[in-house]
Copies of this chain bind each other. A is one copy, B any other.
Amino acid sequence: MRRHNRALVLQTVAGEQPVSRARIAARTGLTRGTVSSLVDDLLAAGLVAELGVTRGGTGRPASPLQLNRSGPAGLGLEIGVETVGACVVDLTGAVRAQAQIPSPHRTEAPAVGLGALVSVAARVVAGAGLPVAGVGVAVPGVLADGVLERAPNLPRWRDVDVAARVGEVLAPEVGDVPVTAGNEADLGALAEHVTGSGGDDVLYVSGGIGVGAGIVLDGRAFRGAGGRAGELGHVVVDAAGPECSCGGSGCLESAAGLEALCRAAGVGDLDALTAAAAREERPTVEALTAGGRALGIALAGAVNLLDVPVVVLGGAYARLGRVLQKAVADELARRVLWRSPVEVRMSPLGPDAALVGAAVSVVRELVRAG
């Protein structure tokens, strides 16, 4: 009960800072006295801090409160296909330290990757100088209860209990804090939702060799009954299209995955594709237009089904500029049933979204729990 109200107060602070005790009382419906008492708890726990600055108006100046930027922080980790990364965000969600190093997970066993993860995490934690209250790990694959069930690009990690293993190797660094693992696209969606100052419903698409979607509904990540929601890559965009490794045919990945885009544009990798897109070379523009159309078709289906007002293009897509964005937006405008336009944004976080999202998921949970 008190716990609930403490969380309510904390969320109010998070939603509008700086804010006075009196304003919190007005917003939550609690009494000023009750709020004072709850705020005392939060101050003692180090979750909020008092500014002390008394910028005037009429009446007694308020004593403004905000989330404690030196308080407990979240450590985000990412296990990419060929990299590991780490970042620390404070309670406000601001990134305080970040680093990334290469790590060949396709060829090396998980133990090697975990070693790399520890080293980069240690550096980042030391750099930030904040107490770590929890760890989030982003992984490109399907998780069930923290166990990696399916990860096409991380074959040696199959059936690894990521959360548990990371917790073990990281214990010397950060102590015995809760570790959660999440899908890369889901966490990317969360990051875009939080930093994007967007609404409470976002469909985030992470482009890469695979195409995954993260869904934020009503302000929280939606993972489905089995934690596997968001597999957009194998939506059918052309029933007559090529066979796919998934057993179907005409999947989105075959038309708008990174490999298909590179092949159609006649370039070797994402960097070359990005450069060619920036120069607006003819075959690349055509390839991106065709891929964007396919993506738009798949997204239109998802938007019609979920009624989401904002679509964010992230991952590799974030680097491919306006040609892609326009093709997607055109197709959405044509196929979405309602007239209020669906907004198509390029991800401002780009390839860091998942990493930041992993860290943000931790502090978000801290704030939610009070």
> Which residues of chain A have a CB within 8 Å of any CB of chain B?
1, 142, 149-150, 199-201, 213, 215, 217, 222-232, 234-240, 246-248, 297-298, 300-302, 304-309, 334-335, 337-338, 340
From the candidates B217, B231, B240, name the one contacting A238 in the complex (CB within 8 A): B240
With A234-B337, A335-B246, A338-B142 as contacts: A297 and B239 at CB distance below 8 Å: yes
Q: Are B301 and A228 in contact (CB under 8 A)?
A: no
Most buried by B among A201, A231, A232, A246: A231
With A235-B301, A238-B238 as contacts: A338 and B226 at CB distance below 8 Å: yes
Q: Are A236 and B301 in contact (CB under 8 A)?
A: yes
From the candidates B222, B238, B300, name the one contacting A248 in the complex (CB within 8 A): B300
Q: Are B307 and A229 in contact (CB under 8 A)?
A: yes
From the candidates B201, B213, B247, B335, name the one contacting A224 in the complex (CB within 8 A): B201
Task: Kindly list the 5 A-B residue pairs having the minimum CB-CB distance in the complex, ordered from nearest.
Answer: A224-B307, A235-B301, A231-B304, A229-B307, A248-B335
A298 to B298, CA, bound (A): 10
Q: Are B309 and A248 in contact (CB under 8 A)?
A: no
With A236-B237, A239-B237 as contacts: A201 and B230 at CB distance below 8 Å: no
* Chain B residues positioned under 8 Å from A335 (CB to CB): 234, 236, 246-248
Q: Are B305 and A231 in contact (CB under 8 A)?
A: yes
* Chain B residues positioned under 8 Å from A302 (CB to CB): 301, 305
A304 to B233, CA, bound (A): 9
A71 to B102, CA, bound (A): 66
Which residue of the partner chain B has the closest CB to A201? B225
Within the complex, the shortest CB–CB distance from A160 to chain B, in Å, comes to 18
Most buried by B among A229, A239, A340: A239
With A246-B337, A248-B334 as contacts: A301 and B304 at CB distance below 8 Å: no
* Chain B residues positioned under 8 Å from A298 (CB to CB): 301
Which residue of the partner chain B has the closest CB to A224? B307
Q: Are A307 and B227 in contact (CB under 8 A)?
A: yes
Which residue of the partner chain B has the closest CB to A236? B297
Q: Are A305 and B307 in contact (CB under 8 A)?
A: no
* Chain B residues positioned under 8 Å from A300 (CB to CB): 234-236, 248
Q: Are A308 and B224 in contact (CB under 8 A)?
A: yes
If A224-B306, A234-B300 are given as contacts, then 18 extra A-B residue pairs at C-beta distance below 8 Å, sorted by A number, are A149-B338, A201-B224, A201-B225, A223-B307, A225-B308, A226-B340, A227-B307, A228-B338, A229-B307, A234-B301, A234-B304, A236-B297, A236-B301, A237-B239, A247-B335, A248-B335, A298-B301, A301-B302
